Amino acid sequence: MKYEEKILTSLVENFRKSKKDAGNNKTNRRTQIKPEKLYKKYSANDGDFEEITKLNQAVEELFQKGFVARETETFGTQLHCIYLIDEKIQDIEQYLADKYGYVSKDMKIEKLKELVDKYQNASSICKKECAKLTEYIKNRKIPKNIDELDNILKAIAFIESNKQDLYIREVSSKVYGDSKFFENEILQSVCSIFRKYSNRDSDNELSDEILLDYHIAKEPQKLCIKGNAIITISGKQIDISGFHDGIEFLASDLINIQSVKIIALKFMTVENRTSYLRYHAENVVTFYLGGYMNRYQRDFLKLVYAFNKDITYEHFGDIDAGGFWIHHNLCEVTGINFGLFGMSVDELQNDTYALCLHELSSNDRNRLTELKTINTYAEVIHYMLVQNVKLEQEIVSLDLMKRSSELC
């Protein structure tokens, strides 16, 4: 982004977020931005002179256009502060729109009005959501998910009126012409809205189970397990220990399983399929999770626990924000106290994995920060945030099996 665009966008956004936008401000503080917000080393001794010059030139050109005022040091050209000329706010927004494709707050409010007109009579829940959007419009506020709203309301309108038994990907094809869009992009947002207006007890449910009320289900899932275990199904005992890479069965068969007996000291869920296929250990039964657990996996894990409360339960996943949130969800939804396996500071400090370490994104940091107060994760998350690292589990499982074969 060029400095011209950054300066104007920052000033316009600051103005539109302030009380001046609604005209109910009590004090007339100037809308401003410090040059350090645009280039953090602006006042530093080691700042890039070329960058500083570019920034100064951009400010001078905007000053000449009448868009900004600036405050400089008494003797010299060093900027102290850049101010918006409030009276030019609409001209600036139009300039940004024409030159950079900027979408102004007024344009977003017009979009909200169009969405209200389009969906307020589409279904009962759409009507309730549109009433909320109307309040946003009155108060000149913009919802964070404005870019998703059209697709969200479109799905709600379809689902609420649906009477046909459908799979989620069929819904996606009917609504968007894309079989994966619904599940990949807005499923959780849509389910959250349905839950908000339902009277269901959601403490022990996964978010997408609400869709079953509208005849919509995920496609048949497979459950994957390997190790020394005996599954009793339809009155017959099946010893799965002879299957080196385990077995897979459809979730629809879950209703016929009476019991699962684990002939091992430990039961371990594994986040990623490669690690599930790779990892073998004596006295460990492993179960493929594949990310956040679905309702069938939850029911199967509860069945395992009901018959095997005296063994150790652990989870093996990525050492990243997603991995820890998956573990947190696993424990919360099943009520089973899963320990962590291969997800500690030791793995992050292991020289064998050094080339596989990745830097944290800003989203990683936000998600990790939400969990770091929980004792289970405190030490490893503190290390990750300080060292700015994360690690996928595939290299860990590969190394574990390599070391195991060397010992043999």
- Tell me which amino acid residue 243 is: F
Question: Tens digit of pLDDT for each residue in 378-392?
Answer: 999 999 999 999 999
Q: Which candidate, 369, 300, 359, 290, places its Cα nearest to that of 323?
A: 290
CA–chain centroid gap for 158, Å, is 25
Termini Cα distance of the chain: 57
Burial class (CB in 10 A: 0-12, 13-18, 19+), 163: exposed
Q: What are the extents of the domains in the chain?
A: 3-102, 106-217, 222-407
Q: Phi/psi of residue 176, each to 5°?
A: -115, -10
| Helix or strand holding residue 70 (H, E) | strand 68-72
List b or e across 328-341, with b for residues whose CB sees 16 or more CB atoms inside 10 angstroms: bebbebbebebebb
Hey, which of 11-20, 107-116, 138-147 has the most confident mean pLDDT? 107-116
CA distances from 347 to 7, 353, 400 (A): 43, 7, 11
pLDDT at 208: 81
Structure tokens at 284: 């460990």
Burial class (CB in 10 A: 0-12, 13-18, 19+), 233: middle
Output 386 or 101, whichever has higher pLDDT. 386
d(CA 35, CA 43): 8
Residue with token string 């004792």: 375
**Which of the residue ranges 192-206, 277-291, 356-370 would you say has the lowest mean pLDDT?**
192-206
Q: CA-CA-CA-CA torsion for 204, 208, 209, 210, nearest 10 degrees?
A: 110
- Tell me which amino acid residue 295 is: R
Residues 45-61, mean pLDDT to the nearest whole number: 90
CATH topology of domain 222-407: Dna Topoisomerase Vi A Subunit; Chain: A, domain 2 (3.40.1360)
pLDDT band at 228 (very low <50, low <70, confident <90, very high): very high
pLDDT at 117 over 90: yes
Q: Which candidate, 137, 140, 106, 107, places its Cα nearest to that of 120?
A: 137
pLDDT at 407 over 80: no
Structure tokens at 365: 């940091």
Residues 111-121, mean pLDDT to the nearest whole number: 96
**Which of the residue ranges 26-40, 264-278, 370-384 would you say has the lowest mean pLDDT?**
26-40
Residue with token string 């709203």: 149
Q: CA-CA-CA-CA torsion for 96, 100, 105, 109, nearest 10 degrees?
A: 130
Structure tokens at 82: 């850049």
Residues 319-340, mean pLDDT to the nearest whole number: 95
Residue with token string 């679905």: 294
3-state SS string for 305-342? HHHCCCCEEEEECCECHHHHHHHHHHHHHHCCCCEEEC
What one-character-per-residue DSSP string does 342-355 give?
Answer: S-SHHHHH-GGGGG
Question: Tens digit of pLDDT for each residue in 193-217?
Answer: 999 988 765 555 677 888 988 999 8
3-102 has CATH 2.70.98 classification: no
Which runs of E-coded beta strand occur in 144-283?
A: 166-167, 216-217, 222-226, 229-233, 236-239, 247-250, 257-262, 266-270
CA distances from 388 to 155, 293, 320, 379 (A): 39, 28, 11, 14
Name, in order, each residue with C-beta under 8 angstroms of 67's C-beta and a sequence gap of 6 or more. Answer: 8, 84, 85, 88, 91, 92, 95
Find out whether 99 and 6 touch, Cβ atoms under 8 Å: no
Which 8-state DSSP code applies to residue 204?
T
**Residues above pLDDT 70, as percent of the chain:** 96
